[in-house]
Amino acid sequence: MKIISLPLVLPAAVIAIVFAGTGQAQERGGGVSKTDLDAKIQYCKTCHGLSGQGFRGAYPMPRLAGQQPEYLENQLHAFVERRRTNPVMFNVAHVLSPSMVQGLAAYFKDLNPKPLGGAPAELAAAGKKIFQEGISGTDVPACASCHGPDAKGQGPFPRLAGQLHDYTLKKLTNWSKERGQDPAKPDTSAIMEPIAHGLTEPQIAAVAAYISNLE
């Protein structure tokens, strides 16, 4: 497979596979060769960390470890279809075969490194309350109602546990500029739009701090 462009959100988690489990590539990747998967793993680790735990560089790169496969696949399609804006990830995603996407997603799900941490500890308590109870009188329900009480997600709803707090803050405060960019093709991002708008930046920071240390 020819590799192009530098990724921002994709295959990182897959990285740990370089050291453990790459031999399963053909079995779990639905026909992806070990050589192709290894090459993609090496490519992805430059952005998302050696175990898919995320990385802080010029920009926070998200944790993919433990992510729900259905969510990851949905997001890759969203990049390709321009429903989610990110020119770098468009270049990464549109060259991935369906079997490569499935193989990477399966590995991401199985990785479980420790969270990077680094969030302001004093915000976690307020974030926990919002996550578990929502905000009364607003369009903000309990985050746990979709993402699960342990924040590990389910199906199309992503895992939030261990996600870099600065990445979460950035994504929620810029939600409408990046997600749901094709009204003719609404997706699960539409569920989050009123919620993201209903949160103040301090509330977003609190939730981001709370989930960032969940394992």
Q: What is the CATH number of the domain that holds 147?
A: 1.10.760.10
Does residue 206 belong to any structural domain of this protein? yes
**Does 31 share its domain with 88?**
yes
Contact 163, 63 (CB under 8 A): yes
Q: Global pTM?
A: 0.82
Instruction: Supply φ then ψ for residue 119, to 5 degrees.
Output: -80, 155
Tell me which residue range forms the domain holding 63: 13-110
Q: Which residues in the chain show pLDDT less than 50? A: 1-29
Residue 205 is which amino acid?
A: A
Same domain for 184 and 104, yes or no, is no
* Tens digits of residue pLDDT in 133-182: 999 999 899 999 999 999 999 999 999 999 999 999 999 999 999 999 99
130 found inside a domain: yes
Residues 105 and 18 in one domain: yes
Rounded to 5°, the CA angle 118-214-211 comes to 70
For residue 154, tell me if it sits in a domain.
yes
Q: Smallest Cα–Cα separation from 49: which of 65, 35, 71, 37?
A: 65
Same domain, 144 and 82: no
Quick one: pLDDT at residue 30? 54
Residue 125 sits at the vertex; the CA angle it makes with 173 and 130, to the nearest 5 degrees, is 50
4: in domain? no
Q: Which of 50, 81, 110 is the last residue of a domain?
A: 110
- Owner of token pair 């990445």: 167
For the residues of 73-102, what is the DSSP string, one character each? Answer: HHHHHHHHTTSS--HHHHHHHTT--HHHHH
Question: Are the C-beta atoms of residues 138 and 127 closer than 8 Å to each other?
Answer: no
Alpha-carbon distances, residue 28 vs 23, 71, 97, 111, 155 (angstroms): 10, 18, 14, 14, 18
Handedness of CA 144, 146, 147, 150 (dihedral sign): positive
SS3 (DSSP) at 140: strand
115 assigned to some structural domain = no
Q: Contact 99/196 with Cβ under 8 angstroms?
A: no
User: Do 156 and 187 belong together in one domain?
Assistant: yes
Q: Are 181 and 83 in contact (CB under 8 A)?
A: yes
